[in-house]
Structure formats: structure tokens, C-alpha cells
Copies of this chain bind each other. A is one copy, B any other.
């Protein structure tokens, strides 16, 4: 289904960085879900570039709903929204028509689309499209919250510096959701931004790790094969530009453990079955076990750097030197956290509606 994801709650994404606009269609979330515009605005703000460590292309992300919203609630029919592009300097890119920027999709887009794709500013591959993910993800995230399912993401690692680990999801997730640079330890955050600034000064960029925790999910969500919780989430998370790895629970660190260390012993807490540790990230056999679902993504360094790079002109097949100009982020990890929350929210909403039916979210009727 290419640019559509989800079985019961399906999201379709469209747009190009320097075209008319970007947007999406969300289908199946349910009728009577309240549209909280201040909530959406807050999430869009968390993604938007700001401050010294981001690109100076500051779009307002003014969205308008075309359909699916009526008198402040979802109608149950497809929700379409468009965010018009503004502040577009296409001349920045016109000379790049044939240049394969290393780490970018210029060459692969050319190979796939036989040269017809909109090359300006990355076109459909641009990180700009994630604004539409955040817009729609916010609707899903708010609907999840209203069901007691809370999620939040922190910059677990950036530029070689680690944030503190989660110790109390219930307290920490709401704090993260109020922070522009989402770290649990503000000291670590300060060091990260310093390193990002240093990289920027050097014409370079950095990457990081984003860790997300979700609380309140019922046990029994997901499928044993293929549509596992891990499979569904990872499928969508890899659509976030820059993500090159996804792990659940202790992930790659499990490889060096013994089974006696990695197994989470079951126990009973307050009458409910829980596990004493959560090395599996809340998932056994592809299915939620009632513990917080925890996962991490590896975000590669932003590929747009100002240092001179070797590359090719993919139309002529010549090797050339590239020195980028324009406006670029020295890091996107702190902005991508809002995208990660959004994508995860859309996937979880889909899985919940699949399990509990099309009226799971939404109102009691009007």
C-alpha cells in the first residue's frame, strides 16, 4: 500500500517539500473524537525548528482540515488536512537537480521515479512531510490519552552523550511532553545542545537515539506472526527520515545476556499480572503483556552538512565535489521525538481499533 499504513486506522501521507503543500488522510479512527487544536498546535511546535540548533526555515505549519471534522469532532469519515508550503526558496535547489547528496534520497528517488520526481528540497523525501505525521499523530495521541494510554519520547543519546534512563514513567512522560528538548536530565540536554552547536559550527551534524515509553496498553494486543507489535511499530517507525534501527526493551543489549538475566519473571502486583523487570519492552511473542511498551530508534546524523563531500552527478555519471548551501539542521533527533510519538500513536490506534472495534475511540453519540 506504499504511502498508506494501517489496517483499521489507515493513514495516507502526501506532499513535497517545495510543492503546493503536504498533508494526509486519516481513515477509521472513529466518530466523535474531539479535535483539540491546542494539543495539535503544541505537538507541531515540538517538531518545528527552533532556536540556534535548528534550520532557520521556520514554517508555521498552518494546517486546515478539508474533511472529516464537524463541529469540533471527528465525523468518522476520512479526515483530510493540508499544510500549505510557505517560505519556500526553490532557487536554493535548482542547481541540485542532478547531484546525489550523500545520505539523501536524490539518487534513489531518481532511480525509482525515472527522473520525474520533484527534486526540490528533497521533494517527497523531505523531513518536511513529518509535519503531517505530527498533525495526524496528535489526533491519535490525544485519543489514546483519553483512553488512559500515555506515551512520551526522550533523546536517550545524542552526540555521544546519554540522557538519564526512565525511572518513573507516570511522572516522567508528562514532563517530557512539556519539554522542547526532551531529556529526563536537563544537564545532559545542555551538553547535547552544546555538542550540536559545535557540530553546526564545524559544518557538520550529529545523530542520536530516541526512546519511547507507552503506558496503559492492555495485555493481548498484537498478533503472533507478522503483525506483531514490534513488526507494526517498526514498519512505521522506519518511515521517519533518518531512522536506521529499532529495538524493543533491552534490544541489542539482550544479545550479551543469559536467558536467566533476560527473562522477565512474572509476578502479581495489585492483583494484576506484571513482570518484575521489563527487558522485553512489554511484548512477549509479539503481543503486549500489560507492561509499558518501550522502544528505541537509531537516528543517523543529519545528512545535510556543509563540509565538502565527494559525490556524483547521476545524470551525467561524473564524479563531482559538493558544498551544500542553504538552511539545514545540524541535528534532527530533538525534533524527531514528536514524529516518533506521532507515528507510534497512529500504529497503536490502529491495533486497538482492530482489537476492540471501530467505536473504540470516539464519543457516546450526539
Contact = CB atoms under 8 A, between A and B. Distances in A.
Given A118-B75, A255-B209, A301-B257, A287 B80 contact: no
Interface string A1-37: 1111101101011111001111101011001100000
Interface string A224-247: 111110111011111101011111
Contacts of A241: 285
A355 B357 CA distance: 5
A285 B102 contact: no
Most chain-B CB neighbours within 10 Å: which of A129, A254, A317? A254
Contacts of A300: 254-255, 257, 262, 280
A354 interface: yes
Given A32-B114, A77-B123, A219-B107, A244 B249 contact: yes
A309 to B, nearest CB: 6
A111 B290 contact: yes
Contact of A224 (B109, B116, B207): B109
A273 B363 CA distance: 22
Interface stretch (A66-74, A136-144, A169-177, A179-187): A66-74
A327 to B, nearest CB: 15
Interface residues on A, range: 35 or more
Given A256-B160, A358-B355, A363 B114 contact: yes
A220 B112 contact: yes
A108 B230 CA distance: 14
B1 A4 contact: yes
Interface stretch (A45-53, A146-154, A263-271): A263-271
A244 B254 contact: yes
A354 B362 CA distance: 16
20 contacts: A3-B25, A5-B226, A14-B78, A15-B80, A20-B67, A70-B118, A75-B117, A102-B266, A108-B284, A111-B287, A160-B256, A230-B243, A245-B248, A246-B246, A252-B298, A255-B299, A258-B305, A262-B301, A262-B303, A265-B311
